[in-house]
Structure 1
Amino acid sequence: MADPGMMKEDLTTSEPATPRLNLDEPMFDQNVYMGRAKHFLMVTNPLNVLLSNAQLDEAKKLVQLYREGKEPAGTSNDEVWTAKYRYDSAFHPDTKEKMMLIGRMSAQVPMNMCITGCMMTFYRTTPAVLFWQWFNQSFNAVVNYTNRSGDKPIPVSQLGKSYALATVGAVGSAIGLNSLVKSAPPIIGRMVPFAAVCAANCINIPMMRSAELANGIPVFDENGHRLGNSKKAAKSAITQVVISRIFMAMPGMLLPAFVMNKLDKGTFLKRYPYLGAPIQVSMVGIMLLFATPMCCALFPQKSSLPVSSLEEDLQTGIQKRGGGIDRVYFNKGL
């Protein structure tokens, strides 16, 4: 018969169970900028575009099994995190639906490097400006819809209005500014596409998400319990996204402009003019590879506001719940 003392000693010295991962939070600390940057570096990884539907569905299945504590025996934490980031790269955080490929954040670098590079290469003629600004706003409309905050569909009429206004704003800004800077130094003309993109972002994103401004977006307590909808949270979320998008475009649209302006003054592009577009597109791609995650990380994805800054009726409802809730949390969108 085993000695009870020995049994007691064995119980106290046994290895503790491995703590479960919290898949409701990113792998990296979101309270610090570098943690958010690492998180978005994985979310926006262009290689995720190459994942098949089968691989994405498999990642979703593993995440669901892990949440239920039913993952296959021997599954490592690294495998779970890989599955989680693959899942996050393709599935909307609120609707849980698989997002269209070109609207995913992992498609931002390859898509934007081509569109932005061409906007900056073919900016001198009106037909080229019209086409590339229209093409860019068509892509932005898809991205803004795909990465909206909240779980309510956007009406088709609202989509059309937002798309039309943003396209008119971008094209009008580009053509108007081009006419104003004709006698200015060439480097000023190269800045026009960036100014047009900034103007379009200030129109397109709020318009595309105007239903959120009208109806509010879901807000939660720190434990994920839904507390209601807030228009002020929607305003905060959209403002953060507009700022992030403008800063995201800045390196890829300004730094290459100076480099190409310098090359234009030399003999290299005169001898090899066909290399202008590939060089510009490549530079934009390199800039976006880093600017996209770094600018997405300017604000936490799970943003927050003090309860005192919310609508009065929502404040009253939260106070009635009790529990000392002083902040609410919401998905700001991307």
Structure 2
Amino acid sequence: MAGTLPPHIDLREPRWDQSTFAGRARHFFMVTDPRNLLLSGATLEEARRLVQDYRAGKVSAGVTEDQLWRAKYIYDSAFHPDTGEKMVLVGRMSAQVPMNMTITGCMLTFYRTTPAVLFWQWVNQSFNAIVNYTNRSGDAPITTGQLGTAYVSATTGAVVTALGLKSLTKHLPPIIGRFVPFAAVAAANCINIPLMRQRELKLGIPILDEDGNRLGESRAAARQAIAQVVVSRIGMAAPAMAIPPVIMNALEKRAFLKRYPWMNAPLQVGLVGLCLVFATPLCCALFPQKSSMRVSRLEPEAQARVREKSPRAEIVYFNKGL
């Protein structure tokens, strides 16, 4: 192999050990880096070329190992791991912090009136629908009807939850009302993600052996993958929607915000952003991206396919999605 790179770098795997939380966290700090959104199309294509050339046994002279890993993370930030398609900009994980910072900050600021609750829950679920579709597991298409059902159901669930809890907290301390948006977001995640990925629940997601060879599809693997993503998404939202309300409730009692009420929204958005910078990669790292399951836990038909193709396999692997 030409160039200065060793031939044994496995670009199918992250740079850091994914069996440890610290390794996964370092990986996702790279994947969710908002600066990746500023990269040009030419930079993305160059990263893809470097990665694909290296996988094919070719590399340009002078490319270092650090440059190759940087290209891999640029490639991973913009292209779907299963389909290889370029992902829509706002659906990429690198868009999570700036998009959620703005939306969540506004949800926490404008939660007092019904029209504001309706509008920001709708905006949030529209964004979530794009993210859930963009980061789905596997390479199976999803129909327009399935997309529409998931979107409408999740938006309705979030709005009903928000309005219902808002009415229940009318006579409670104001601080309680500030947590209504989080309850609505948690409920919506439990609806939106399974519905957006319902095809995976019905038909299964690709399962692989340790060498990356496809052994079939599994519905049990899909259920585990989706459950892990739901937990991660709720965990991701928790600090950003639980810590700023407490701080803002204390600040609103002081003279500064009474004198400059227009600072409420910028402060709220900034606090949410600070939480999300850390919560997003750390909660993505709760579970390995390349998740695993024992063959004995698969549904019988999936077990039969695995036994037929790889009789000695005890564990299968799959992309859980994000």
Shorter chain as denominator, the TM-score bin is over 0.9
Which of 16, 22, 31 lines up with 2:10 in the alignment?
Answer: 22
Partner of 2:257: 269
Partner of 1:89: 77
Deviations 1:238-267 (A, max 9, x none): 000000000000000000010001011222
Residue 38 (str. 1) matches residue 33 (str. 2): no
Is the contact between residue 215 and residue 309 of structure 2 (CA under 8 Å) also seen in structure 1? no
Deviations 1:98-137 (A, max 9, x none): 0000000000000000000000000000000000000000
Which of 113, 131, 147 lines up with 2:101 in the alignment?
Answer: 113
Instruction: For 1:109, give the aligned amino acid.
Output: V
CA RMSD of aligned residues (A): 0.9
Q: What fraction of aligned residue pairs are identical, expressed as a percent? A: 64
Which of 31, 48, 53 lines up with 1:60 in the alignment?
Answer: 48
2-side partners of 1:194 and 1:314: how far apart? 38
The secondary structure found in structure 1 opposite 2:318 is strand
Is the contact between residue 37 and residue 95 of structure 2 (CA under 8 Å) also seen in structure 1? yes
Instruction: For 2:101, give the aligned amino acid.
Output: M
Deviations 1:142-200 (A, max 9, x none): 00000000101110000000000000000111111111000100110000000000000
Which of 135, 142, 164 lines up with 1:154 in the alignment?
Answer: 142
User: Taking structure 1 as reference, are residues 141 and 154 closer, same or farther at Cα in structure 2, changes over 3 Å only?
Assistant: same
TM-score, reference length from structure 2: 0.97
2-side partners of 1:126 and 1:18: how far apart? 60
What is the deviation of 1:79?
Answer: 0.6
Which of 265, 268, 292 lines up with 1:280 in the alignment?
Answer: 268
Which of 197, 200, 208 lines up with 1:209 in the alignment?
Answer: 197
Which of 138, 143, 157 lines up with 1:169 in the alignment?
Answer: 157
Is the contact between residue 236 and residue 276 of structure 2 (CA under 8 Å) also seen in structure 1? yes
Residue 223 (str. 1) matches residue 211 (str. 2): yes
The secondary structure found in structure 2 opposite 1:20 is coil
What is the deviation of 1:322?
Answer: 4.0
Deviations 1:189-245 (A, max 9, x none): 000000000000000000000010000000000000000000000000000000000
Q: Report which of the two structures shows the higher radius of gyration computed on alpha carbons.
A: 1
2-side partners of 1:118 and 1:311: how far apart? 44
The secondary structure found in structure 2 opposite 1:222 is coil
What is the deviation of 1:323?
Answer: 4.8
What is the deviation of 1:28?
Answer: 0.3
The runs of 4+ residues in structure 1 deviating greater than 4 Å are: none
Q: 1:316-327, aligned counterparts within 5 Å?
A: 316-327=304-315
Instruction: For 1:250, give the aligned amino acid.
Output: A
User: Taking structure 1 as reference, are residues 99 and 322 closer, same or farther at Cα in structure 2, changes over 3 Å only?
Assistant: closer
The secondary structure found in structure 1 opposite 2:224 is helix
1-side partners of 2:129 and 2:86: how far apart? 17
TM-score, reference length from structure 1: 0.94
User: Taking structure 1 as reference, are residues 322 and 142 closer, same or farther at Cα in structure 2, changes over 3 Å only?
Assistant: closer
In structure 2, stretches of 5+ residues that fail to align are none
